Each structure stands twice: as structure tokens, then as C-alpha cells.
């Protein structure tokens, strides 16, 4: 789906980013007219026209000054009333079902697949997920009424507001027309339910994102078996800047849940403390409370509504969040309400009974239904695709069934065999991993070599390191650059340079992008599990390298506004690997070869080198002179792309977007640059790893691209192990270490209890749960560690862990595609946030915010997030840094946090280049 940027001038002041929705939804004339037997005309929605888009966010800013957002209602109240009288024919009733089939409307949100995961287990069958602009009303009518394929509808959260058709798509139509089908609207869906019946949607007293509130409800069926009141343990997570004005509720909408304006707090506060009792409580008869209590304006905010005659419900909070209590119970109650609703009908027709028998299908059959429905969907640019055309589907976004690799695994594959040797208790004898790397690859100063380096002193955070270089017969190097986006029709295309072990090169033009190429390469390899049985790690050879941030265009993100000077992806195929077990002190030497061409010289030669090494003989690397540093560079330093004033201004613009509901969280970044001149990247990395050791550190050198990466990342993006378990470990929340042990503990405690940092972390945890939920088995996504604080050399960080079991029909590369870029580097909702960030940031992030790691030939992978990293390309060193902007952000503090994250790698570079560091 393509996106456009609207602004009031050539300046990008307060732009609204909108996804163009097919005009078939929003014509002023009735877009669909059914025959007379149906006695129904289409309800028309006014077009979100050019004038509206040109005014963009400036109108929203003006509206916010009066609290009210411009209504822009659906023609007028009389037309709504007229439409209500002309209802669609009644659907045939349904028998009580063991399984409930849900149509889940995705409003381009980053939490939709958390709902999908919950409903899959509760309903007994996965929902069908469509985006809000994916079906015409004719298609929706067919599936909902002619085929009776669904028992209820859930409308997801999403960015924006229900007043803009581009944000809400077909949802308003469904809420008006499908009055005899149970519907649950969450957040934006809740606001749409109020708006479509005439209620006003206004700015909340304050934006609330990633924070919790207590809820009081009226005992509605949606809250069965759930306690009520501020003193109960019913706490919900809120992600919203807009609310329904309770004073504007029409009589047909009934309030069913409330919270108090100032009853918001952090996850830890709400989880471990009991709120003060309050005498304020909503009435139990469903009426709206008086606007004044004890002479003060009423502080209650609507958190739930229902229609008085339609089976329609709305919830302002997010029941799918990991931190919402009783969230699963709410979805179960909605299922029960659906079953109760349909059981009230008598004499179901034979056709309906046949549909019900279909409902009692297994999950696999439900997935086939979704694939069948997906075959006929239209893409945003008018082209169609079928279930075998993955690349076409991805031009306009990636959903869960776009990710199913129908050609995985391939029948005609190349069988690779693995040979390996274990050298026990050797690491400490030779002086550690550093000396091993220098002995094997130091003579060439790490040219065309890699080192995935667990340099952290805490072995629990990283047990294994891997290193390798050029030399094996299967070795090759891939260098990929995305085509200039302004000159192409497909945003995936790019140029790939392949260099083999003999130095021969081949150029290819990739029409479907790098990830698709990598997927095909990996699926063309087969293996024998017996070859790596007994190895305690998953990487046994395969592709090692880096993926740049701009590869996001292959993952359903908008077209890149900026082009990177460096390559967008660089990888080696490593057939010879040395692995180090830091916990047990063992070294493993591994070699891949084709089935009939066994080659063991690397194993024997490497074993001989390592065994004959001694600590004294390897000290030469510490004393060896390096190339001279240009004296003119010694007094230089990194220069940020943006001044303090410019960065703070961007933070304020981010906060305005958040206030207007366009995003929950925006991860704003910038680049710091230094013309470093003639330096030694390997020597620089060795200094960096001593000054700032990290569990996901790395050194990479790609000579034909004139590119080196010196990485000290503490963050894992995504890992897939040989058991099919996916794991993400996002970091959100950072604070500097203290100068004394006492101060250090206080700062650590401050981070742990910070409401802002907890909100940041919770939002990204829910986002990663969503990303994993797209490719994992229903019910398998879980969070074993939430908001742990980890300590590193220079900072404390807040880290969470999310895991899930990968579906068997989804390839490893498609798992990465579902989650890339890492949510901790984008914000949420991801799609809208990325487009906003592209409009604010004045250059490509390049390899920063991307990933470094491996794709093993045996189907496993492990990738980091490229942060705390020095990228050296064509004699320029760059360090990217930034932070998450939320409603609670302080612009000045955000600038200081960005500088803090830059400090460790920047200081290491300046020390090394000034000669003040010990030469390695």
C-alpha cells in the first residue's frame, strides 16, 4: 500500500500521513446499489478530499485548542437515521457453536495480531484478518451475509481518528450496516462506534500510552467474572490520545465502563499497589454520570460503550496488552455473547447448519479459508495477486498469510555436509577470543572477516562467539544496494554484487528484493541433522552479515525517502567457522562442504594453529604498530547532523503527532559524523570492545564495499533456535551509571520505577508480541521477562524478553520480514510511525537501526539491533543514536539521552584516533 505526505506548504510543518484508501469507499454518491429484492442502497461517506488532506494536521492543531476535533460526520444525522431504517436482510440464525469465526479488521495497527493470537485460542479457530481498505462493501456483504462465513467482527486499534476515512476504512460502514452481527471495537474501533452514531470524538485530557488505569463497569456481559472498581485488580493498558465525549453520547449508546481522569500510573505502580478508595462511581443503571461532583467537574472518562439494540460493543482500552488483567476473559466473554446472541434465533436454515458444520473445522482448515479469501483481495495500486504470488502481495504490506512460504522447503536442494572438531578447555590457554581472532585473521587486519563477539563479561548474557574469514570453496560475499526509489515503480528492486572464493564477480538486478533472494538461497540448501548433533550452539555455517534499516521497504514499510551511501545489505557465505564457548572454555572448528567434496584442511590447519598458540606468542598483537593516524584528525570529533535546537524541535513535533493520535511512540534518531581518514577498523574495534563490552557485539569488514562495522550492541533483535523458538529482547529505557556504588544503585532503581521508561518498554513489548504473533503458533507467544534492568559498563537498560513457537510453514527469513525493523527502533504503530520518522529525519539511517548476525544453513538465525555502533564507510565514521518519544517525554531530556547513547562508541573512536589509547 502506498502512502502520501500532506502538508500546507513546502515546509513539513505538522504533516498528516495518510494511506490513500480506494475511492470506492468514499464517493459522495452511493457506491453500491443492490437489486430491489434486497431493498437496500449503499450508505455513502464523504470523501476525505484534497482540501481536507491539504489542511492536514494544522486543522487538528487548531481543533485541539478547543478540545474538540472537527466532527466531519457522515453527511448529517437525518441521513444516518434514514439509513438505519433501511436495514440489510436479516442473516440466518446460527446454532450454539463450539467454535466462533471472527472477522478481524486491521486498521494498520501494530497490536492487531495480539488480538489474533488471543482469539485463535479462545474461539478455537483463527480469525480471518483483513485490512480496513482491503474489501469492497460487496465483498464484505458476500462473506458476511450470503456466505455467512463469520459469527462476529472485531475492529482493531489503529493510528489517527475515526473522522478520517483513510484511517478507518470500511469500519464505519460495517458498524452501520451489520446491526445483526456482534461487533467489538477496540480503541479506534470503540471511537468509531461512538462517532458513527453521532457522538463527538475529542482530545483526551492528556494522551495516555503504555500506562494503566483501574476500571469500574456496570456488570455488562462483556465484563462477566471480572471485578470492578479502583480497588480491584482489574487494571487495563491504555494507548490513546482521543476519547468519546460522554456528554455527546446519543441515547442508543450506553456507557458500560469508566475510569477516573487521574487514575493512571506505571505498570509497577498499578501491579504492586492498591489505589486509594474513592466515593466517586458511575451509576449502575447505565446512564451518564452528572458532569459535576461536589462542585468539581466530573473526572470520569468513558472506557466502554454498547449499543442499546445492536450487539455492538466498544472498549477504549487494550484488552490484548500483556499488562491488562482479565484481557483474555473479555475476549472469552465476547465469544460467549456471540454464542448467546445467535442461540436466541430459532429454526436455523439448512444452509446455516451447513456453515456451522464448516465452523467445526480444525485450525488448518480455517487457515485455508483465509488463504482462499486472500486470493481475491485487491492491492492498493489496483493490481491483484493470488496465494502463490508473495512478492506482489508485499508491495502493499505484509500480513500473516503473505508470510506463508508456499515453496518452503523446496524439493530440489543442495545437500551440504558439516565436519567439526572440538578443542576442549583451550580458550583461556591462548588468552581468550581476542587472541584467537588475531592469530587466525589478524595478519590481514580482519579483511573480509567477521566476528560475532560476545564480549560481555557476564556469560549469562552471551555464551558463544563466532568468527571466520575468506578461504573456503563455498565462500562468497554479497553486496546489495536498493535502487533509487524516485526512479522505480517497485520499491524492492536493487543491485546485487556476488564475489566468489576465486575472486570472480557477478552482478544481478533483483526485482523482488534482497530478503526474497536470501530466502530462496537458504531454502535451496538441505542438511542432515546428524551432522550438528552434539553441538551446543545453532550456527554451523551459512550467511553472516548486516541488514540496513532501509530494507524495511521489503517488509511492508513505506518507500524510503532517503538513500544510504553505504550498501543496504552485506553478507558472507561462511563455510569455515570457529566457535568459542565462553562458559565451558571450549573451541569448535567447523567446515561445510558439498556432499561429495569433503575438505578437512581448514579443520586440521586451524587446530594446529590454536594448539601451538601460547599466551606469550599472541602478545605480539598488543604491541604491533598500526598505520599512522593523520595528525589533523587528532583534534577532530563527531559532528551531529542536527543541532540541539533542531533535535528538540523534532521531539516537539513528535509529541504533537502523539497528541493527535497518529502514533503511540516515535523512536527519533540522528547521525553523528567524523571524516576519520586513514585508520585501522580492527584496531578500533579491539579498543571499543575493551571500553564497552556487549553481548551482541560484532566486527565486520567488507573490502569490496570499503565498509567496516565496529558494533557494541547490547540488544538482540530476533533469534530462531533449532527447536523453532523465536525470541526477541527489546531494550527501551536507558540511564547512565553512577560515579559511586550508592549512586549507581539509586540510578538503577530510578530507571526501574520510571513511569516514562516503563511506558516505552511496555509499548514495544506489545509491538514485538504482535510481530511474533504473525508467524507463531496460536497461544505460544509469551513474555518470560518483563522490564528487567540490566547493567552494562556505561549504562543501565530496561530489557524484556518475548518468545513464541514458529509456525512450520513459515521460513526463517519471513520471520525476520514480519518483525523488521525492530520495534524498539521505530515505535508503534510501526507503519505510521516509520513514515512520520522518515519525514522528520533528514537522511537515511543506513546500517544503523538494522541488524547484524547470521542465518545458519540449518534454518536457525540470530540477529542484533545495530546500536552503539561505529560504521566506517569510505573514510567516514558515523554513529547513529536516538530515543523513544512518548507523551511523557521532556524534549531537553531526550536530547541528552541521545548524546548519552553516542558517548561510549564516540569516546572509543576519539581515544583510538588520538593515540591516547593503548595501541593493540
To which residue does cell 565451558 refer? 584
Choose, from 318, 582, 593, 873, the residue flagged as catalytic. Answer: 318
Cβ atoms < 10 Å from Cβ of 346: 6
Choose, from 59, 216, 320, 894, the residue flagged as catalytic. Answer: 320
Work out whether the CA dihedral 280, 283, 288, 289 comes out positive or negative. Answer: negative
Strand 183-186 to 312-315 pairing: parallel
To which residue does cell 468519546 refer? 244
| Selection from 683, 677, 715 nearest residue 699 by Cα | 683
C-alpha distances (whole Å) from 96 to each of 333, 338, 340, 361, 454 are 15, 9, 7, 15, 56
What's the rounded Cα separation, in Å, for the pair 24 and 31? 6
C-alpha distances (whole Å) from 449 to each of 438, 548, 572, 708, 709 are 11, 19, 9, 10, 11
Q: Can 139 be counted among the known catalytic residues?
A: no
Residues 6+ apart with CB under 8 A from 340: 221
| Selection from 42, 115, 30, 43 nearest residue 73 by Cα | 43
To which residue does cell 551459512 refer? 542
Count of alpha carbons within 13 Å of 782, Cβ hemisphere only? 5
| Selection from 24, 182, 42, 186 nearest residue 105 by Cα | 186
Helix, strand counts (H, E) of the chain: 24, 40
Q: Can 318 be counted among the known catalytic residues?
A: yes
Cell output for 160? 489517527
Choose, from 15, 164, 178, 187, the residue flagged as catalytic. Answer: 187
Cβ atoms < 10 Å from Cβ of 730: 25
| Selection from 492, 488, 432 nearest residue 465 by Cα | 432
Contact (Cβ atoms closer than 8 angstroms) between residue 105 and residue 81:
no
Contact (Cβ atoms closer than 8 angstroms) between residue 315 and residue 331:
no
C-alpha distances (whole Å) from 918 to each of 455, 561, 911 are 18, 42, 9
Cell output for 359? 465452523
Question: Which residues are 666's β-sheet partners?
Answer: 827, 885
Phi, psi at residue 759, to the nearest 5°? -65, -45
Q: Can 920 be counted among the known catalytic residues?
A: no
DSSP 25-73: SS-SS-S-B--TTTT-BPPP-----HHHHHHHHHHHHHHHHTSBPP---
Positions marked catalytic: 187, 318, 320
Amino acid at each position: 500500500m502506498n502512502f502520501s505526505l500532506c502538508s500546507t506548504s513546502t515546509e513539513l510543518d505538522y504533516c498528516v500521513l495518510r494511506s490513500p484508501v480506494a475511492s470506492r469507499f468514499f464517493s459522495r454518491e452511493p457506491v453500491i446499489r443492490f437489486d430491489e429484492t434486497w431493498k437496500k442502497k449503499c450508505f455513502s461517506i464523504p470523501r476525505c478530499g484534497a482540501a481536507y488532506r491539504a489542511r492536514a494536521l494544522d486543522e487538528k492543531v487548531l481543533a485541539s485548542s478547543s478540545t474538540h476535533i472537527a466532527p466531519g460526520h457522515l453527511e448529517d444525522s437525518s441521513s444516518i437515521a434514514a439509513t438505519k431504517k433501511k436495514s440489510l436482510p436479516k442473516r440466518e440464525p446460527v446454532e450454539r457453536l463450539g467454535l466462533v469465526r471472527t472477522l478481524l479488521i486491521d486498521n494498520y495497527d501494530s497490536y492487531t495480531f495480539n488480538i489474533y493470537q488471543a482469539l485463535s485460542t479462545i474461539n478455537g479457530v483463527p480469525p480471518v484478518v483483513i485490512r480496513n481498505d482491503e474489501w469492497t462493501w460487496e465483498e464484505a456483504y458476500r462473506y458476511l451475509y450470503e456466505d455467512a462465513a463469520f459469527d462476529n467482527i472485531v475492529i482493531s486499534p489503529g493510528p489517527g481518528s475515526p473522522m478520517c476515512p483513510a484511517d478507518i476504512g470500511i469500519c464505519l460502514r460495517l458498524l452501520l450496516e451489520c446491526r445483526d452481527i456482534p461487533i467489538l471495537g477496540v480503541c479506534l474501533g470503540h471511537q468509531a462506534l461512538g462517532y458513527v452514531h453521532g457522538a463527538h470524538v475529542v482530545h483526551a485530557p492528556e494522551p495516555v500510552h503504555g500506562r494503566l488505569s483501574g476500571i469500574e463497569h456496570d456488570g455488562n456481559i462483556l465484563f462477566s467474572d471480572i471485578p470492578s472498581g479502583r480497588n480491584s485488580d482489574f487494571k487495563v493498558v491504555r494507548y490513546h490520545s482521543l476519547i468519546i465525549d460522554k456528554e455527546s453520547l446519543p441515547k442508543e449508546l450506553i456507557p458500560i465502563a469508566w475510569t477516573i481522569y487521574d487514575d493512571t500510573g506505571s505498570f509497577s505502580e498499578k501491579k504492586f499497589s492498591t489505589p486509594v478508595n474513592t466515593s466517586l462511581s458511575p451509576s449502575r443503571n447505565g446512564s451518564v454520570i452528572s458532569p459535576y461532583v461536589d462542585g468539581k467537574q466530573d473526572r470520569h472518562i468513558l472506557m466502554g460503550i454498547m449499543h442499546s439494540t445492536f450487539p455492538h460493543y466498544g472498549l477504549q482500552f487494550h484488552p490484548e496488552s500483556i499488562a491488562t488483567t482479565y484481557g483474555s476473559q473479555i475476549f472469552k466473554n465476547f465469544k460467549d455473547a456471540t454464542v448467546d446472541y445467535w442461540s436466541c434465533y430459532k429454526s436455523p436454515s439448512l444452509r446455516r447448519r451447513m456453515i456451522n458444520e464448516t465452523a467445526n473445522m480444525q485450525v488448518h482448515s480455517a487457515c485455508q479459508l483465509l488463504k482462499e479469501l486472500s486470493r481475491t483481495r485487491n492491492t492498493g495500486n489496483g493490481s491483484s495477486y493470488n496465494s502463490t504470488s508473495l512478492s506482489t502481495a508485499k508491495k502493499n504490506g505484509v500480513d500473516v498469510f503473505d508470510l506463508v512460504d508456499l515453496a518452503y522447503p523446496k524439493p530440489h536442494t543442495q545437500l551440504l555436509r558439516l565436519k567439526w572438531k572440538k578443542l576442549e578447555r583451550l580458550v583461556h590457554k591462548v588468552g581468550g577470543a581476542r587472541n584467537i581472532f588475531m592469530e587466525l585473521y589478524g595478519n590481514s587486519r580482519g579483511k573480509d572477516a567477521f566476528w560475532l563477539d560476545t564480549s560481555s563479561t557476564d556469560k549469562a548474557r552471551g555464551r558463544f562467539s563466532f568468527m571466520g574469514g575468506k578461504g573456503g570453496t563455498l565462500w562468497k560475499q554479497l553486496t546489495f544496494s536498493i535502487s533509487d526509489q524516485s526512479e522505480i515503480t517497485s520499491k524492492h528492486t536493487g543491485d546485487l554484487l556476488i564475489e566468489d572464493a576465486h575472486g570472480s564477480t557477478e552482478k544481478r538486478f533483483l526485482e523482488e528484493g534482497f530478503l526474497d533472494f536470501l530466502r530462496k538461497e537458504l531454502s535451496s540448501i538441505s542438511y542432515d541433522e546428524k551432522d550438528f548433533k552434539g553441538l551446543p550452539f545453532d550456527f554451523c555455517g551459512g550467511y553472516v552479515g548486516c541488514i540496513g534499516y532501509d530494507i524495511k521497504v521489503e517488509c511492508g514499510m513505506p518507500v524510503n525517502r532517503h538513500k544510504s551511501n553505504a550498501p543496504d545489505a552485506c553478507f558472507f557465505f561462511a563455510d569455515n567457522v570457529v566457535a568459542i564457548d565462553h562458559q565451558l572454555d571450549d573451541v569448535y572448528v567447523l567446515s561445510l562442504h558439498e556432499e561429495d567434496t569433503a575438505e578437512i584442511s581448514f579443520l586440521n590447519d586451524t587446530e594446529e594453529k590454536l594448539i601451538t598458540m601460547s599466551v606469550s606468542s599472541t602478545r605480539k598483537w598488543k604491541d604491533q604498530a598500526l598505520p599512522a593516524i593523520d595528525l589533523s584528525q587528532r583534534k577532530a570529533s563527531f559532528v551531529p547532523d542536527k543541532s540541539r535546537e533542531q533535535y528538540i524541535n523534532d521531539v516537539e513535533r513528535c509529541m504533537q503527532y502523539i497528541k493527535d493520535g497518529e502514533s503511540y511512540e516515535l523512536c527519533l534518531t540522528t547521525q553523528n559524523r567524523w571524516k576519520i581518514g586513514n585508520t585501522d577498523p580492527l584496531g578500533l574495534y579491539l579498543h571499543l570492545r575493551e571500553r564497552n563490552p556487549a553481548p551482541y557485539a560484532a566486527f565486520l569488514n567488507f573490502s569490496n564495499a570499503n565498509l567496516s562495522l565496529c558494533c557494541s550492541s547490547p540488544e538482540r533483535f530476533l533469534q530462531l533456535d533449532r527447536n523453532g523458538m523465536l525470541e526477541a529482547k527489546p531494550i527501551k529505557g536507558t540511564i547512565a551509571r553512577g560515579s559511586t556504588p550508592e549512586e549507581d544503585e539509586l540510578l538503577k532503581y530510578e530507571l526501574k520505577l520510571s513511569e516514562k521508561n516503563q511506558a516505552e518498554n511496555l509499548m514495544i513489548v506489545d509491538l514485538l508480541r504482535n510481530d511474533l504473533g504473525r508467524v507463531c503458533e496460536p497461544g505460544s507467544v509469551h513474555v518470560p521477562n518483563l522490564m528487567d534492568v540490566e547493567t552494562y559498563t556505561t549504562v543501565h537498560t530496561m530489557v524484556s524478553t518475548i518468545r513464541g513457537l514458529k509456525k512450520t510453514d513459515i521460513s526463517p527469513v519471513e520471520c525476520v520480514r514480519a518483525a523488521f525493523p525492530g520495534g524498539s527502533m521505530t515505535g508503534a504503530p510501526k507503519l505510521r510511525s516509520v513514515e512520520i520518522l522518515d519525514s522528520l529525519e533528514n537522511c537515511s539511517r543506513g546500517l544503523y537501526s538494522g541488524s547484524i548476525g547470521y542465518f545458519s544453513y540449518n534454518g536457525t538465525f540470530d540477529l542484533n539491533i545495530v546500536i552503539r555502533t561505529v560504521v566506517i564507510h569510505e573514510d567516514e565514521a558515523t554513529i547513529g543514536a536516538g530515543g523513544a518519544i512518548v507523551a511523557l517525554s521532556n524534549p531537553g531530556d531526550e536530547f541528552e539521552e541521545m548524546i548519552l547513547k553516542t558517548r561510549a562508541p564516540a569516546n572509543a573512536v576519539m581515544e583510538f584516533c588520538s593515540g591516547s589509547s593503548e595501541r593493540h
